[in-house]
């Protein structure tokens, strides 16, 4: 699906940093540096970014009807 707007655990808005983070990782950037640059200091917010996979384009092929 899409990245959650806020962190599940602490509620900090994080979605605005996702496109830049994804771009940095696509260029083969360092994960730690990319997370630091996105301003994610807490482990809960960092875990949301590390565990996320954009699956909306895959899932939307199988809609009902
Ligand atoms: Zn958090």
Report residue 41 as tokens.
Answer: 């200091």
Ligand 1 center to 61 CA (angstroms): 31
Give the distance (Å) from ligand 1 centre to CA of residue 42: 6
- pTM recorded for the entire structure: 0.80
Tell me, in angstroms, the distance from the centre of ligand 1 to residue 47's CA. 8
**Residue 56: C-alpha distances to residues 24, 34, 53, 62, 63 (Å):** 20, 23, 9, 10, 11
Share of the chain above pLDDT 90, in %: 75
Cβ 1 vs Cβ 57: under 8 Å: no
Cα-to-centroid distance, 41 and ligand 1 (Å): 8
Average pLDDT score over the chain? 92
Q: For residue 40, report the distance from its CA to the centre of ligand 1, in Å.
A: 8
pLDDT for residue 65 is more than 70:
no
């Amino acid at each position: 699906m899409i990245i959650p707007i806020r962190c599940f655990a602490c509620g900090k808005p994080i979605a605005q940093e996702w496109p830049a983070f994804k771009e940095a990782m696509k260029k083969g950037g360092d994960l730690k540096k990319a997370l630091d640059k996105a301003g994610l200091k807490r482990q809960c917010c960092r875990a949301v970014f590390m565990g996320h996979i954009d699956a909306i384009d895959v899932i939307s092929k199988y809609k009902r009807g």
